C-alpha cells in the first residue's frame, strides 16, 4: 500500500474511459431526426414517448437516426408543449444541513431512477421564504413538490397540493393531491429517555431545541411521557431551549451547570446540540459517560465517530428522502401512495452508562 506513495511513479489515472463521446452535437432537434428517417415529427415523438403503436420499420429507422445524430430531447421544449418538465421541486431548509443532506441524497437517487431531477431550494425555516420557494418552483413548472418539514401552514400546503402533487414530511395531514410522511419524533424521544431511566438516571436534563419547531415540541412530549411512565417528576429547571446547533447546545449546558441544578444525564433533542453539550462538559472537566451520560437524536454520520461514540436515536434521513420521492412518483403516476416511514430506533453506543448512586 505504502509503496505507491513512497516512491515516484506515473500518476494513477482514474480507470474510467476518457468519456464515451458520442457525436452528441447539441442542437439536434426532433425535426431533424424526422427528416433524416423519412417520417413526420409526430411519429418520432410517438416513438420517444410510447404514445402510440408505430410500425417496426419506421421505428428502427428512427432509432437509427437518433443514434447517428446523437439526438437528445429538449426538456425545455417538452415542458412547454407537454406540460411535463420531469423535474420535482424540493423545499429543504438548508442545502448544507447535516441531517437533511442525506435526505436530499435519497431524493436525488430515487427520482433519478426514472429520469426525474430534483430542484432544490432552501427555506431556512422561514414560512415567508418557503412560500417564495414554492412560488419559484411553481413558476419553473415542476411536476411535483416535496417539502421537508418546514413551517408552512397546513392550509397553504393543502392549497398548493390542489394544483401540484405534493409530499410533505414531518407532519400528519391529509388532502387531495397531498401525501404526508410523519416520523414519530415523540416515540424516538421516549426511547432515548427510557434508556437513560433504565440505566438508573433520575435527573435527566433535556436540551430542547427551538420551542417553535414542531419536531422540538414532539421530542419534548416524548421526554415528558417517558418520565411520567417511570414516575419521575418533570423538572422545568432541567429543560433548556436551544437552537439545534452545536454552539447552542454548549451554551445551554454551561447555563445548566451554572444553575447548580444537579443532573446525571443529558438528552439533547439533536446530535449537533449533543456534540456541543459534550464539549461544555469536557471543558468543565466532566467526563462522558462516567460523570454524565449523554444521548442525542438523529444519528448523524459523525455520531459514531465522536468521542465517545454517541448513543442516539436513529432518524432515517436517507430513507425519508427516498420514500418521499417514491411517494411523489406514485402521486405523479396517478396512484395513491401507502409507504410509511420506519419507526425510530435507539442506537446505543458509548456515551451512556449506569448512573452512580444518587441522592
Which of the residues 62 through 121 are near a second copy (CB under 8 A)? Answer: 72-77, 79-80, 85, 94-98, 101-102, 104-105, 108, 117-121
Least CB distance from residue 69 to DNA, whole Å? 11
DSSP assignment string, 15-55? SS-S-------TT--HHHHHHHTTS-HHHHHHHHHT-S---
Nearer to a second copy, 152 or 295 (CB): 152
Which of 67, 81, 95, 114 contacts DNA by CB under 7 A?
81
Cβ neighbours of 304 (radius 10 Å): 13
Which of 24, 25, 52, 301 contacts DNA by CB under 7 A?
52
The site partner of 345 among a second copy, DNA, none (C-beta below 5 to 8 Å per kind) is: none
Which residue matches cell numbers 472537566? 285
- Pure H helices in the chain: 3-6, 30-36, 41-49, 56-69, 75-82, 98-112, 127-139, 154-163, 185-198, 214-230, 246-259, 271-283, 317-332
Question: Which of 211-246 are b and which e, b meaning 16 or more Cβ less than 10 Å from the residue's Cβ?
Answer: eebebbbbbbebbbbbbeebeeeeeeebbbbbebeb
Least CB distance from residue 29 to a second copy, whole Å? 12
Cell of 18: 476518457
**Count of CA atoms in the C-beta half-sphere (13 A) of 146:** 34
Length in residues, the chain:
359
Which of 23, 38, 262, 302 contacts a second copy by CB under 8 A?
302
Binding to a second copy by residue 8, rule CB under 8 A? no
Binding to DNA by residue 86, rule CB under 7 A? no
The site partner of 54 among a second copy, DNA, none (C-beta below 5 to 8 Å per kind) is: DNA
The site partner of 179 among a second copy, DNA, none (C-beta below 5 to 8 Å per kind) is: none
Binding to a second copy by residue 49, rule CB under 8 A? no
Binding to a second copy by residue 177, rule CB under 8 A? no
Binding to DNA by residue 114, rule CB under 7 A? no
Binding to DNA by residue 153, rule CB under 7 A? no
Binding to a second copy by residue 237, rule CB under 8 A? yes
Please report, to the nearest 10 degrees, the dihedral formed by the alpha carbons of residues 249, 255, 261, 267 taken in order. 0
Nearer to DNA, 51 or 335 (CB): 51
Residues 134-173 that bind a second copy (CB under 8 A): 135-136, 138-141, 151-153, 155-156, 163
Q: Distance between CA atoms of 344 and 215, rounded to whole angstroms?
A: 13
Nearest alpha-carbon partner for 179 in 334, 328, 333, 318: 328
Which residue matches cell numbers 437533511? 100
DSSP assignment string, 177-199? TEEEE---HHHHHHHHHHHHHHT
The binding track of 186-225 with respect to a second copy, each residue x by CB under 8 A or -, is ----------------------x--xx----x--x-----
Least CB distance from residue 123 to a second copy, whole Å? 11
Binding to DNA by residue 82, rule CB under 7 A? yes
Which of 24, 55, 94, 335 contacts DNA by CB under 7 A?
55
The site partner of 177 among DNA, a second copy, none (C-beta below 5 to 8 Å per kind) is: none
DSSP annotation of 93 reads S
Sequence-distant (≥ 6) Cβ neighbours of residue 140 within 8 angstroms: 85, 87, 89, 119
The binding track of 3-42 with respect to DNA, each residue x by CB under 7 A or -, is ------------------------x-xxx------xxxxx
3 state DSSP class of 336: coil
Nearer to DNA, 46 or 219 (CB): 46
Binding to a second copy by residue 258, rule CB under 8 A? no
Cell of 248: 447552542
Q: Which residues bind DNA (CB under 7 A)?
A: 27, 29-31, 38-46, 48-49, 51-55, 57-58, 71, 73-74, 77-78, 80-83
Amino acid at each position: 500500500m505504502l509503496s505507491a506513495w513512497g516512491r515516484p511513479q506515473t500518476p494513477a489515472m482514474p480507470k474510467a474511459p476518457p468519456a464515451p463521446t458520442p457525436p452528441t452535437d447539441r442542437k439536434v432537434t426532433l425535426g431533424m431526426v424526422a427528416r433524416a428517417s423519412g417520417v413526420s415529427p409526430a411519429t418520432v415523438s410517438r416513438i420517444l414517448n410510447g404514445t402510440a403503436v408505430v410500425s417496426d420499420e419506421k421505428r428502427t429507422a428512427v432509432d437509427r437516426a437518433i443514434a447517428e445524430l446523437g439526438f437528445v430531447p429538449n426538456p425545455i421544449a417538452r415542458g412547454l408543449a407537454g406540460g411535463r418538465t420531469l423535474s420535482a421541486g424540493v423545499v429543504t431548509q438548508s442545502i448544507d444541513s447535516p441531517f437533511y443532506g442525506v435526505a436530499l441524497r435519497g431524493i436525488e437517487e430515487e427520482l433519478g431512477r426514472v429520469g426525474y431531477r430534483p430542484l432544490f431550494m432552501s427555506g431556512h425555516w422561514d414560512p415567508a421564504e418557503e412560500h417564495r420557494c414554492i412560488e419559484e418552483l411553481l413558476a419553473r413548472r415542476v411536476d411535483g413538490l416535496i417539502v421537508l418539514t418546514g413551517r408552512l401552514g397546513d392550509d397553504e400546503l393543502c392549497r398548493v397540493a390542489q394544483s401540484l402533487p405534493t409530499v410533505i414530511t414531518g407532519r400528519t395531514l391529509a388532502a387531495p393531491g397531498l401525501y404526508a410522511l410523519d416520523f414519530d419524533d415523540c416515540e424516538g424521544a421516549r426511547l432515548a429517555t427510557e434508556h437513560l431511566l433504565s440505566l438508573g438516571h433520575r435527573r435527566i436534563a433535556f436540551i430542547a431545541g427551538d420551542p417553535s419547531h414542531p419536531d422540538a415540541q414532539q421530542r419534548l412530549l416524548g421526554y415528558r411521557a417517558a418520565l411520567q411512565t417511570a414516575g419521575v417528576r418533570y423538572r422545568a429547571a432541567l429543560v433548556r431551549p436551544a437552537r439545534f446547533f452545536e454552539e447552542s447546545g454548549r451554551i445551554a449546558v454551561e447555563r445548566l451547570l451554572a444553575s447548580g441544578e444537579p443532573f446525571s444525564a443529558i438528552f439533547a433533542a439533536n446530535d449537533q446540540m449533543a456534540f456541543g453539550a459534550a464539549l461544555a462538559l469536557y471543558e468543565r472537566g466532566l467526563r462522558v459517560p462516567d460523570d454524565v451520560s449523554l444521548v442525542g437524536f438523529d444519528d448523524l454520520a459523525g455520531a459514531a465517530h465522536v468521542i465517545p461514540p454517541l448513543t442516539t436515536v436513529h432518524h432515517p434521513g436517507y430513507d425519508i428522502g427516498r420514500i418521499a420521492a417514491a411517494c411523489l412518483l406514485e402521486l405523479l403516476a396517478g396512484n395513491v401512495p401507502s409507504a410509511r416511514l420506519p419507526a425510530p430506533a435507539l442506537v446505543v453506543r458509548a456515551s451512556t452508562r449506569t448512573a452512580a448512586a444518587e441522592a
